[in-house]
């Protein structure tokens, strides 16, 4: 494998024996709008076909890139294909520049699927249904995760890594010694337990939103969790796609429901001021005090990388977790909010590219990366014994048992909204500078006019 100097990514994320079959040419039977690609019906880049070399562009570097490369080594030996991985932390900008200048890589690994769909609309991405068995892939994946790469009835990529956000972490020893519940059937049941925790002089929730220019993104995750639980994946999808306005009453309802938690007296350690002035990676620190000052943190599977060193050394003994529960009278099932990396082909008629795509999007990929840590398979059929610790296996099991998976909404929305006004308005809303209706209206007004 050709190795390049690597940059370190800040994100620290997270087998059955059935391999996904390469099916030659499975054309989409529906065809229809959005199925066109470059001239000749194939998305083709400038790289030579059949030369035994495949170039992949992605955004993860450092230890994550090392894990990715380690997971490719045996495949390279067995297939005879040489894979060059090029890391770029400005992936979203670089991939567009390279595609538009005729210098697309063979494969791009997208951390945010919105960019993939944008290039697919231009006809620069090869639909995976032309060379992969999409039905076979979908059967092994966490339900709903493949939908993020769907456009006008066709799929333009497949996930090769997953991150889970709908997790609640707690200090295992102190928490279990106090006898607090370690699982909940509903948000309402959790709210009852909050009263018991507060009666012991402890804030139930640890929370920090400060993240320099990105302050507020943690709050957007909370709104997404509530929309998904109260109104379900169909409304969530309509919200993301702007088929309903951002200030739809159902979205305002999610703001209000989260407001009861975030602004309720004694619910969150440090109150509103503490939340806004505490870095998201440091919000867990009060959890490890003796006694704890707060006991729950709803955060993604990457968060353990921000824990104190002595906690990271003994995750299985020190850390407990449970899934953020559904809402009574809401969506009938357990939804999971998350993210991930989606692989897509820019060299549609190159058999080497097809073989690499088949492998990295299968449940056979990633054992070496999983053992090193920092990676979570999107496949329900991935062997959990490949994970390095029990806490990661627990996260994987939560994903496997989910009824539906949805990608982070703010990552799918236009930049002006998802990483712009949504972040800013969350801060104003938390400080009570604006109401739920006013915050949602502000964000709606930021949506680009088509």
Handedness of CA 268, 269, 271, 274 (dihedral sign): negative
Of 43, 46, 44, 50, nearest to 81 by C-alpha is: 50
Radius of gyration of the chain (CA): 22
Give me the pLDDT at residue 106, please: 98
Q: With the CA atoms of 284, 285, 286 and 292 taken in that order, what torsion angle do they form, in degrees rounded to the nearest 10?
A: 90
Q: Encoding tokens for residue 299?
A: 């955060």
Give me the pLDDT at residue 37, please: 60
Q: Are residues 242 and 201 in the same domain?
A: yes
Q: Are residues 220 and 326 in the same domain?
A: yes
CA atoms within 13 A of residue 337's CA, in its CB half-sphere: 29
Q: Are residues 199 and 299 in the same domain?
A: yes
Decide: 105 and 58 in contact? Cβ < 8 Å.
Answer: no
Q: What is the span of the domain harbouring residue 235?
A: 167-336+409-445
Give me the pLDDT at residue 49, please: 87
Give me the pLDDT at residue 32, please: 35
Rounded distance, CA 368 to CA 445, Å?
Answer: 46
6 belongs to a structural domain: no
Decide: 403 and 422 in contact? Cβ < 8 Å.
Answer: no
185 belongs to a structural domain: yes
Q: Are residues 304 and 426 in the same domain?
A: yes
SS3 assignment, position 141: strand
Decide: 4 and 86 in contact? Cβ < 8 Å.
Answer: yes
Rounded distance, CA 270 to CA 294, Å?
Answer: 10
Determine how β-strand 53-58 pairs with β-strand 107-110.
parallel
Determine how β-strand 154-155 pairs with β-strand 203-205.
unpaired
Enumerate residues 6+ apart whose C-beta is below 8 A from 447.
242, 245, 246, 414, 416, 417
Look at the block and give the residue holding tokens 């079959």.
21
Please work out, in degrees rounded to the nearest 5, the angle formed at the alpha carbon of residue 70 by the alpha carbons of 67 and 71: 90
Handedness of CA 361, 363, 365, 369 (dihedral sign): positive
1 belongs to a structural domain: no
pTM: 0.86
18 belongs to a structural domain: no
Handedness of CA 29, 125, 68, 398 (dihedral sign): negative
One-character DSSP codes across 320-373: EEEEPP--TTS-SS-EEEEEEEEEEES-TT-HHHHHHHHHHTSTTS-HHHHHHS
Decide: 387 and 393 in contact? Cβ < 8 Å.
Answer: yes
Backbone angles phi, psi at 244, to 5 degrees: -120, 150
Enumerate residues 6+ apart whose C-beta is below 8 A from 76.
1, 82, 83
Determine how β-strand 335-345 pairs with β-strand 158-164.
antiparallel
Q: Are residues 237 and 303 in the same domain?
A: yes
253, 328, 342, 402 from 185: Cα distances, Å: 21, 9, 32, 13
32 belongs to a structural domain: no
Decide: 14 and 139 in contact? Cβ < 8 Å.
Answer: no
Rounded distance, CA 80 to CA 2, Å?
Answer: 13
Q: Are residues 348 and 397 in the same domain?
A: yes
29 belongs to a structural domain: no
Which residues of the chain have a pLDDT value below 70? 1-41, 450
Q: Are residues 105 and 92 in the same domain?
A: yes
Q: Are residues 117 and 151 in the same domain?
A: yes
Q: Are residues 187 and 82 in the same domain?
A: no
Handedness of CA 398, 400, 404, 406 (dihedral sign): positive
* DSSP for residue 150: E
Rounded distance, CA 36 to CA 47, Å?
Answer: 21
Rounded distance, CA 344 to CA 361, Å?
Answer: 10
Give me the pLDDT at residue 1, please: 47
Domain count across the chain = 2
Q: Are residues 331 and 348 in the same domain?
A: no
* DSSP for residue 14: -
Question: What number of residues does the chain have?
Answer: 450
Rounded distance, CA 11 to CA 31, Å?
Answer: 37
Q: Are residues 236 and 360 in the same domain?
A: no
CATH of the domain at 150: 3.40.190.10
Give me the pLDDT at residue 280, please: 95
SS3 assignment, position 104: coil
Of 145, 211, 158, 224, nearest to 409 by C-alpha is: 224
Give me the pLDDT at residue 18, please: 31
* DSSP for residue 108: E
Q: Are residues 67 and 206 in the same domain?
A: no
Backbone angles phi, psi at 230, to 5 degrees: -75, -40
């Amino acid at each position: 494998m050709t190795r390049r100097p690597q940059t370190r990514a800040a994100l620290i994320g997270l087998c059955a024996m059935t391999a996904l079959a390469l099916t030659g040419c499975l054309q989409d039977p529906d065809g229809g709008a959005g199925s066109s690609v470059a001239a000749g019906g194939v998305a083709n880049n400038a790289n030579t076909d059949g030369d035994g070399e495949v170039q992949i562009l992605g955004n993860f570097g450092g230890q994550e890139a090392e894990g990715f490369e380690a997971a490719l080594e045996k495949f390279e030996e067995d297939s005879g294909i040489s894979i060059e991985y090029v890391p770029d932390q400005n992936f979203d900008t670089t991939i567009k520049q390279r595609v538009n200048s005729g210098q697309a890589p063979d494969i791009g690994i997208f951390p945010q699927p919105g960019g993939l769909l944008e290039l697919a609309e231009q006809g620069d991405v090869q639909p995976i249904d032309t060379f992969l068995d999409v039905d076979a892939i979908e059967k092994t994946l966490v339900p709903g995760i493949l939908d993020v790469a769907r456009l006008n009835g066709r799929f333009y990529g497949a996930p090769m890594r997953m991150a889970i956000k709908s997790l609640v972490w707690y200090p295992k020893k102190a928490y279990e010694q106090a006898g607090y519940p370690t699982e909940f059937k509903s948000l309402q049941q959790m709210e009852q337990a909050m009263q018991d925790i507060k009666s012991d002089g402890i804030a139930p929730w640890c929370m920090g939103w400060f993240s320099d220019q990105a302050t507020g993104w943690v709050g957007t995750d909370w709104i997404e969790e509530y929309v998904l639980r109260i109104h379900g994946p169909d409304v969530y999808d309509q919200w993301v796609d702007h088929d309903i306005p951002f200030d739809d009453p159902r979205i305002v309802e999610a703001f209000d429901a989260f407001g009861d938690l975030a602004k309720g007296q004694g619910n969150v350690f440090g109150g509103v001021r503490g939340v806004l002035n505490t870095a998201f990676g440091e919000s867990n620190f009060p959890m490890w005090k003796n006694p704890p000052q707060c006991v729950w943190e709803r955060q993604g599977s990457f968060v353990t990388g921000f824990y104190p060193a002595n906690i990271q050394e003994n995750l299985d003994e020190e850390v407990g977790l449970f899934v953020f529960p559904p809402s009574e009278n809401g969506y009938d099932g357990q939804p999971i909010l998350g993210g991930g990396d989606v692989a897509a082909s820019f060299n549609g008629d190159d058999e080497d590219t097809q073989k690499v795509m088949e492998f990295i999007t299968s449940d056979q990929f990633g054992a070496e990366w999983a053992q090193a840590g920092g990676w979570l398979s999107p496949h329900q059929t991935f062997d959990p014994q490949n994970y390095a610790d029990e806490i990661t296996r627990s996260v994987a099991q939560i994903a496997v048992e989910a009824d539906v998976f949805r990608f982070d909404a703010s990552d799918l929305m236009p930049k002006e909204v998802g990483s712009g006004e949504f972040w800013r308005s969350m801060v104003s809303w938390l400080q009570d500078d604006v109401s739920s209706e006013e915050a949602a209206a502000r964000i709606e007004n930021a949506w680009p006019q088509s």
